[in-house]
Amino acid sequence: MRFYVGIGLFFTHKKIKVYGKENIPSNGPLLFIGNHQNALIDAILIPTTNRRNIHFLTRASAFKKGLINKLLRSINMIPVYRIRDGRNSMEKNIEVFKQCFEILNEGKAIQVFAEGEHHIKRSIIPLKKGFARIILGTLQKYPHLKIKIVSVGLNYDTRLGFPASVTIYYGEAFEANSYFDLNNPDLRFKDSIDKVSSELKKVTTHIENDENYDKTYSALKNLGIDFLNPIEANTKIKEIEDGKLIPSNIKEVKNHINWFLPIHIITKLNSLFPLLIWQYLKTKISDIIFTNTYRFALIVTVFPIFYLIQTLVINYFFNGRIALFYLLTTILFGIITKRTLKANR
């Protein structure tokens, strides 16, 4: 499953680069805590770019249907309930947390998006307490454990366009135990939340000043900032907010001729039926942050099935060699297209 999902992510993105894998402890209880700006894509990028055995906390609304419920649970997803799911549902989180205590005690990893919801702002929004409650509960039951936290910065050049590029920055691991007083716990969890928030702001682009967010974000875009490099982006943000970067410093971003346009056209003609399905589906997406999640779903289902059917048809009317040539050419043109196409919605 990890391999197949990885192939889907490969064809969904122009580039996927990973930094800081050496910061991930090879064993022991661990929480991956990431920012959340691209729905399901965030959730599957982390486990496909490291080798830890990870369980995912996923919003409970995704588990409503029986077959989907079984499928999601089979790949280590755990439903977590929010107030919007109904106040009575919140009691179910007690059992969810107990399950997390045991997972950590077994030396496995849990993936949490501590912001509690996905969003499209290039900022770390205030974190929820859920991850801290899991750590506190685990340490109260198993005080001998040494629980580590690794912050994960997911940085996209575009969250809605295709093909997007992404960098995954794994921050330095730190021990969570020192931020929890088991004898007199602070149930506001201020120290642990502040620490994790600070670590997340190091590994992803963060515009601190919410009042001037639009102005700062526009200035970054006009500068042609590489949002795949959060260190550079955050340096420029500080310069803008301190008034050190003025409009005269902004350089015009030049457009380049794409010499691969003929291959793009051939690829689109060869994928006409799946693309028509996409044109229909994208009008039905109520939450735009799910745009690339739907794209990914089509790429791992409809597109390969369609290409295989065409391959079988060519094999029937011609021969196996021509059919194999068609399939390999389709894959090659697909790779070239996703690597050279300018991102668009």
Buried b (16+ CB within 10 A) or exposed e, 273-302: ebbeebeeeeeeeeeebbbbbbbbebbbeb
Residues 155 and 244 in one domain: no
DSSP for 270-289, please give it: HTHHHHHHHHHHGGG-SSGG
Look at residue 242 in the predicted model and tell me its pLDDT.
Answer: 81
Residues 199 and 218 in one domain: no
Residues 160 and 288 in one domain: no
For 163-290, where are the alpha helices, taking DSSP H only? 190-203, 213-223, 230-241, 261-270, 272-281
Look at residue 237 in the predicted model and tell me its pLDDT.
Answer: 92
**255 in any annotated domain:** no
Mind listing the pLDDT tens digit for each residue in 218-275? Answer: 889 888 899 999 999 999 999 988 887 765 555 555 667 788 999 999 999 999 999 9
Inter-CA distances, 135 with 31, 139, 151, 173, Å: 9, 6, 15, 15
**106 in any annotated domain:** yes
Residues 245 and 118 in one domain: no
**325 in any annotated domain:** yes
Segment (H or E) for 77: strand 77-80
**256 in any annotated domain:** no
The domain total for the chain is 3
Alpha carbon distance 288, 345 (integer Å): 11
Mind listing the pLDDT tens digit for each residue in 180-203? Answer: 999 899 999 999 999 999 999 999
With bands split at pLDDT 50, 70 and 90, how would you rate the model's confidence at 79?
confident
Residues 244 and 303 in one domain: no
Q: Among residues 185, 203, 221, which one ends one of the domains?
A: 203
Provide the domain limits for residue 58.
Answer: 2-203
Residues 22 and 145 in one domain: yes
For the chain, where are the alpha helices, taking DSSP H only? 2-12, 39-45, 66-74, 93-105, 130-141, 190-203, 213-223, 230-241, 261-270, 272-281, 291-300, 302-317, 320-340
**24 in any annotated domain:** yes
**240 in any annotated domain:** yes
Mean pLDDT confidence for 309-325: 96
Alpha carbon distance 281, 291 (integer Å): 10
**208 in any annotated domain:** no
Greatest C-alpha distance within the chain: 76
Residues 29 and 172 in one domain: yes
3-state secondary structure of 154: strand
What distance lies between CA 121 and its chain's CA centroid? 14
**59 in any annotated domain:** yes
Residues 55 and 185 in one domain: yes
Alpha carbon distance 266, 261 (integer Å): 9
Look at residue 249 in the predicted model and tell me its pLDDT.
Answer: 54
Residues 121 and 25 in one domain: yes
Alpha carbon distance 76, 156 (integer Å): 25
Q: Hunting for tokens 């959340």 — which residue is that?
A: 36
